[in-house]
Amino acid sequence: MMRWTLLGLCLAGFVLAPLAARAQTDEIQVYDAGIAPLHQFNLTTHTNFTPDGATTPFAPGVILSNHSTNGSLEWAYGAEPWMELGLYMPLYSFGGGRGPSIDGAKLRLLFVRPHAEDHTFFYGMNFEFSYNARHWDPRRYTQEIRPIIGLHLHPWDIIFNPVLDNNWTGFSTLQFNPCARIAYNLNPHWAIAGEEYAQRGTLARLLPVNQQFQQVWAVVDHYGAAVDIEAGVGIGVTSASDKMTLKLLVSRNFSF
C-alpha cells in the first residue's frame, strides 16, 4: 500500500507542477531518502560560499552569487516511518552586493520508502513550497518537486534526483534541474562522493549545453555519534556556471 501511495504522489507531482527559470539555491544536497527518526527532530545548517561566481544577476535586482555566502536552517520532524515534515527558516545571505539579507522560507513534505538505508533499492518524493524575497527570486512563490531514486550496493551508493522546479505558470515552463551522487563508504563513519548539479532549462526547451548551469563536486561525509557533517567543493564546467562553490552541512537529531 505504501509503495502505491508514493507512486501516486509522484504522478500527482508531475501532473500538477507548473515552473521556474534559473534561480538561487540555499541547499546543495542530493536526497537519499533518509529522514529523521520517528517522533524526533533534526536540525541541519546549510552554508554555501561562492568565491568565484557570476558577476551578472540572473534577473534584475537579485543577489549576485560572486563572493556571496548563503544558506538556511532546516528544521525537520519524523512524523511517520515514511514521512518527514520540514521547515527552512530563515533563508539568509551575506554579500552578493547587498550585505546581510533574509531571503525567505520554505515548507517541505518528504515521502520515502521506510528505512531506506536497509534496502538495496530505495525511492521517495519531496515537495517544497517557497516564499521568496524579491532580491532572492523575482517570483514570490515557487515549488520544488524532487523524485528520489537510488541503490545501496555496499559499499557504493548511486542516487539520482530528477528535480523539477515550478512557479505555477504551466507545464511548458517546468524546469529540469537534476542532481546525482555516487558515493563510496570507506567505513560506517566516513564516505567520499562525486556529485553533479545542473539546470538544464525547461522540459519543453532544453538549453544548449554551453548555456546550462552545471557543476561537479568532490564531497566528504562524516557520520558521528552526535553530529553528521558534509563538506564539498564544486567546480563549474560550463561558461554559465559559477566557477567554484564551497558547501558545509552540519546535522543533528534531537528530541524534547
Determine the pLDDT at residue 16: 35
> Residue 72 pLDDT > 80, yes or no?
yes
Percent of the chain with pLDDT over 70: 90
Q: Can you state the percent helix, strand and coil of the chain, rounding each to 5?
A: 10, 55, 35
pLDDT in tens, 180-236: 999 999 999 999 999 999 999 999 899 999 999 999 999 999 999 999 999 999 999
What's CA 103's distance to the chain center, in Å? 16
Between CA 33 and CA 120 the distance in angstroms is 12
Averaged pLDDT score across all residues of the chain: 90
Structural contact between residues 242 and 50, judged by C-beta atoms closer than 8 angstroms: yes
47, 65, 80, 161, 176 from 91: Cα distances, Å = 10, 15, 26, 22, 23
Give the SS3 label for residue 178: coil
SS (H, E, C) 8-45: HHHHHHHHHCCCCCCCCCCCCCCCCCCCCCECCEEEEE
- What is the per-residue pLDDT for 19? 33
215: domain range? 2-254
- The more confident residue out of 73 and 20 is 73
Instruction: Report pLDDT for 23.
Output: 54
Which residue has better confidence, 80 or 8?
Answer: 80
Of residues 114 and 21, which shows the higher confidence score? 114
DSSP secondary structure letter of residue 54: -
CATH classification at residue 71:
2.40.160.40
Mean pLDDT on 99-118? 97
Please tell me the predicted confidence (pLDDT) of residue 18: 34
Q: How does residue 24 score in pLDDT terms, banded at 50, 70 and 90? A: low
Residue-level pLDDT at 61:
80
If one compares 183 and 170, the residue with the highest pLDDT of the two is 183
pTM, 2 dp: 0.89
Q: What is the mean pLDDT of residues 153-181?
A: 91
Q: Which residue has the higher pLDDT, 238 or 204?
A: 238
pLDDT at 171: 72
Q: Is the pLDDT of residue 107 over 90?
A: yes
Integer Cα distance of 119 and 136 in angstroms: 38
Answer whether 180's CB lies under 8 Å from 163's CB.
no
Of 152 and 167, the one with more pLDDT: 152
| Number of domains into which the chain is organized | 1
- C-alpha 229/C-alpha 249 separation (Å) is 6
Residue 68 β-bridge partners: 50
Mean pLDDT of 54-79: 91
